[in-house]
Amino acid sequence: MTNSRPRGDVRPPKINADEKTTLLTFLDYLRESVAAKLSGLTDEQARTPGVPSGTSLLWLVKHLAAVEYDWFAWAYAGDPGPFRDYRLRPAEEDTVESVLAAYREAAQRSNEIALACDDLDRPGVRSLREHEPAPSLRWVLVHMVEETARHAGHADILREQIDGAVGR
């Protein structure tokens, strides 16, 4: 069974958007594409690994929530909260609903941080990489577009393996 599910009204930015708007809009577009891959799945389907490494859709979205927090809030903005270990597998109490809520909350916080910054070249407070200077907001945004796009492709494959659903 092949199924295509609409992703809401998230669209790529207009051609003449400024750099920050372009990066944030593409990132939001990719975030929504990833989140939509959980649409209609049971918790069991979402947590079932689709590859030998153990990657599942639930893990993938939980991972992206942690990466959002780590790069934008913890590293760039210097939030005092704990560093989130993005390698952790979903806990027994994690559900599609709870993981999606955490991902959306992390994305919202990331956007707030990016929108409050008036200089994409300004370095953040600290880096997640040992012995490197803190990256600029531009670097963080481009990195998150790359990270989210890569995992959106993984999510496409995992979802198709579960029930044949394809499409953006």
Question: In tens digits, what is the pLDDT along the chain, a chain of 168 residues?
Answer: 344 443 455 566 677 889 999 999 999 999 999 999 999 999 999 999 999 999 999 999 999 999 999 999 999 999 988 777 777 889 999 999 999 999 999 999 999 999 999 999 999 999 888 777 899 999 999 999 999 999 999 999 999 999 988 866
Domain ranges of the chain: 27-163
**Helices marked H in the chain:** 19-36, 43-47, 57-68, 96-116, 137-163
The topology under which CATH files domain 27-163 is: Four Helix Bundle (Hemerythrin (Met), subunit A) (1.20.120)
pTM: 0.89
Distance CA 148, CA 60 (A): 10
